[in-house]
Amino acid sequence: MHRITLGNTYFEGENDAYLFTGAETVLVDTGIATTDTREELADGLADHGVEFADLDAIFLTHYHADHAGLAAGIQEESGATVYAHPDDAALVAGDDDARDDLRQKQRAAFEDWGMPEDRRETLLEYMTAGVDHHEAGAEVTEFADGDRFDVGETTLEVLHAPGHTAGLSTFVMTDRNEVLTGDAILPVYTPNVGGADVRVDRPLERYLDTLDRIADADFDRAWPGHRDPIDDPTARAEEISHHHGERAYRVLRALDDLGPSTAWEVSAELFGDLENIHVLHGPGEAGAHLDHLARTGEVEREGNRYSLPDDTRERFQARDDEFWPL
């Protein structure tokens, strides 16, 4: 397996694509559909004697443009089979109904979060202009959790890992107990939950389950969708899970300080004034936490505002570790 590092100017940068060679030539993730990234990917493949036309298959961890954007163009050039999870497949294919449904759900989420109207339209314009760079028209073959594919000298086993997106999937290299994680876990940042894919029901709960599943697998190494390999995936998954316990405490502290508040107001308390894609991610993450705490009965919701009931306030104010168990 060969890691190919790609830049992009829309997210945190340093995307990773992974090349497998052997009886078949296979790529995992493609990078965003910009001229610069396409050239970087072509150069990275050429370093290993591979051209786009040589690819037999492309496996996608999820639909986001920085991971799937070039899939359709490469497929057109190579005839490669493009694989994705059913929950993300229509968006990878550029299906108009799926895109319209996502936009409707995003607008509904903006309303639910209490996002000011001027920020909503600016965000949608930004996303349309850059972040959603996909080459439309890929023909997508779906895979399911547990499916296995012989790739090069290894077998990739699909491990569905929802939370960041509905269809995010990791690929376990069964011969070496290592895993390609996409954005399920990352070495520096914590993957966004709630804003990155507003289609996900109970996003924080599902993401915490994903982290438990990765930790329980006790992989020897993880190869993420951004930046460098993770040498202790179990510790990193547990660290991210603990981070969400710390964030939950900060969400409760915001409600304690502000009184009844929207996700937008809690986001401002947590992250300050946000720009670009973070205008989506900040209130999305706050909303995911508030939704989770409301479902467990630890906060109350009326309309799109959340507040602390007396018993939660007492338990919160009694804690001195700045952590809230989830």
Q: Is 229 domain-assigned? A: yes
| Predicted pLDDT of residue 85 | 98
Q: How far apart are CA 279 and CA 273, in angstroms?
A: 8
| Predicted pLDDT of residue 145 | 98
Number of domains in the chain: 1
Tokens of 82: 């493009």
| Predicted pLDDT of residue 124 | 84
**167: containing domain:** 2-92+134-237
| Predicted pLDDT of residue 220 | 98
Q: Is 119 domain-assigned? A: no
Angle of helix 263-271 versus helix 278-295 axis, rounded to 10: 120
Mean pLDDT per 10-residue segment, the chain (326 residues): 85 85 96 92 98 98 94 97 98 93 95 95 78 77 98 94 98 96 96 97 98 98 96 98 98 98 98 91 98 98 98 96 97
Q: What is the pLDDT of residues 14-39, one digit of tens each?
A: 899 999 999 999 999 999 998 899 99
| Predicted pLDDT of residue 132 | 54
Backbone angles phi, psi at 47, to 5 degrees: -60, -20
Q: Is 6 domain-assigned? A: yes
The 10 Å Cβ neighbour count of residue 87 is 20
| Predicted pLDDT of residue 270 | 97
| Predicted pLDDT of residue 10 | 59
Q: Is 247 domain-assigned? A: no
Q: Is 184 domain-assigned? A: yes
Summary mean pLDDT of the chain = 94
Q: What is the pLDDT of residues 207-265, one digit of tens each?
A: 999 999 999 999 999 999 999 999 999 999 999 999 999 999 999 999 999 999 999 99
Quote the radius of gyration of the chain (alpha carbons, Å). 20
Provide the CATH number for the domain around residue 40.
3.60.15.10
Q: Is 180 domain-assigned? A: yes
| Predicted pLDDT of residue 300 | 98
Q: Is 120 domain-assigned? A: no
Q: CA dihedral in degrees (242, 247, 250, 252; nearest 10)?
A: -90
Strand order from edge to edge, sheet including 15-20: 2-6, 15-20, 26-28, 57-59, 81-84, 140-142
Q: Is 262 domain-assigned? A: no
